[in-house]
Amino acid sequence: MLSLFAKYKKTAWATTIFIAIVIFYISSLTFPVGGATNILSIIYHISAFFFFALFLFASSQPRKKEFVFVVFLIAIAYGITDEIHQFFVPGRSCSLFDFFLDSTGIIFASMIYLILKIKKEKS
């Protein structure tokens, strides 16, 4: 599936931007105190940033390992800015735990991308 998006870079970029907008929108929502820290919140953080990073990799298709690291850093930077953004939203806070969850999704996406890339290079 990643190779399909790599083939149609405009679709991959549009999907990446769409996911970034959805993340920003959800970060703008106010939740009741103590109501946002549950299993659904954990799943959201990991999966949202997993797909954001995965489509970012698919849209940019880094050829060298150094560029894989650059794409990884861009995804991490978006996770940081998302948490900073939440600091300014009433009823939300900048959370190191949420950033850890975001980073977990990004790391999983990076690992899958690298595994698929290595597998493709061997064949």
Q: Please write the tens of the pLDDT for every residue from 11-43.
A: 889 999 999 999 999 999 887 655 555 888 899
Q: Position of tokens 């064949």?
A: 123
Average pLDDT, integer, range 54-59: 90
Encode pLDDT of 68-92 as tens digits: 889 999 999 999 999 999 999 888 8
Domain residue spans in the chain? 2-28+45-122
Q: How many CB atoms lie within 10 A of CB 85?
A: 15
- Give the global pTM: 0.87
